[in-house]
Amino acid sequence: MARKKADEIVIYHNPRCAKSREALKLLRERGVEPRIVEYLKEPPSQAELDRLLRLLGLEPRALMRRREKVYKELGLDDPGLKRRDLVRAMHEHPILIERPIAVRGDRAVLGRPPERVLELLGR
């Protein structure tokens, strides 16, 4: 029986990231084959990023990899930057997005640690 789309788990994944690979492995070990979005190849739109931030209950900087070289190069630590500026930067430079992010319906978790993705399996 096919899973309903609302029940589908989507994982924003970077195959080069150990935490992301571990989160994916944990889901698969439990018989869940999520829809994989390799966000470095298919960056989420600004609207998608806004939705993810709302679902996660986070402000943009909390979802940014602040140690990335581009974070400093773009001056993203400037407190004067608006939310939309930070979201645009994540869209234009997806390497800035912390991973993995898993989404199921109207719930999302940041897989740090990877076991957090299992929270989406219960209802």
pLDDT digits (tens, 9 = 90+) for 64-103: 999 999 999 999 999 999 999 999 999 999 999 999 999 9
- The CATH superfamily holding the domain 5-108 is Glutaredoxin (3.40.30.10)
pLDDT digits (tens, 9 = 90+) for 23-44: 999 999 999 999 999 999 999 9
| Annotated catalytic residue 100 | no
Check residues 7 and 22 and name the one with the higher pLDDT: 22
d(CA 30, CA 62): 29
* pLDDT score of 4 more than 70: no
**Which amino acid, residue 41?**
K
Q: Which pair of structure tokens corresponds to residue 14?
A: 């970077």
- Bridge partners (DSSP) listed for residue 93: none
Catalytic residue among 8, 17, 48, 55, which? 17
d(CA 18, CA 122): 24
Residue with tokens 């029940």: 7
Three-class SS state of 89: helix
CB 38 within 8 A of CB 27: no
Query: Would you state the pLDDT for residue 7?
Result: 85
* pLDDT score of 17 more than 50: yes
Q: Is the dihedral of CA 80, 93, 23, 21 positive or negative?
A: negative
Query: Would you state the pLDDT for residue 122?
Result: 77
pTM, two decimal places? 0.91
How are strands ordered across the β-sheet holding 107-110? 35-38, 9-13, 101-104, 107-110
